[in-house]
Amino acid sequence: MKKLIFILSAVALIACKNSAKATADSSNTNQTNEQSTMQNTTYDLTLSFISKGEGIDHDLEKKFQEGLEKFNTKHKVNMVPNKKHWGREGEYDLGFNFKNLSTSQKKAFMSFVKETIGNSDMLQIKNQ
């Protein structure tokens, strides 16, 4: 009887370990798929909210989001960025495509971005 309990316990322990590993492998696969999708996508503009050891600038993030809503309303467009998290302290990228914008709207958007950022070094602009 003791042998039977020992064998069943060992089998249950091994099954739990394999299940946990399969779940971890599955989540890693999903994360890898998301990263490769983002890397294969080309954006007209990428904004990176960065951290220097204390997380991103949440005030700048809020200011940018509010300004983006105003820009969309004013110019009657729907600029919705693709957001990709990449850091441990909340860092992320916002990818924008300009295919539905006129030339004047593109210029206005870039002016809005530069005006919003000001002299902050916590948000980096990457044109692609």
Where do the structural domains in the chain lie, given as residue ranges?
A: 1-40, 42-128
One digit per residue, pLDDT tens: the chain, 128 residues? 777 777 777 777 677 665 555 555 555 555 555 455 556 689 999 999 999 999 999 999 999 999 999 999 999 999 999 999 999 999 999 999 999 999 999 999 999 999 999 999 999 999 85
> Where does 1-128 show beta strands of DSSP type E?
45-49, 82-85, 92-96, 123-127
- Assigned architecture for domain 42-128: 2-Layer Sandwich (3.30)
Nearest to 95 by CA among 118, 126, 117, 121: 126
User: How confident is the model at residue 70, as a pLDDT?
Assistant: 97
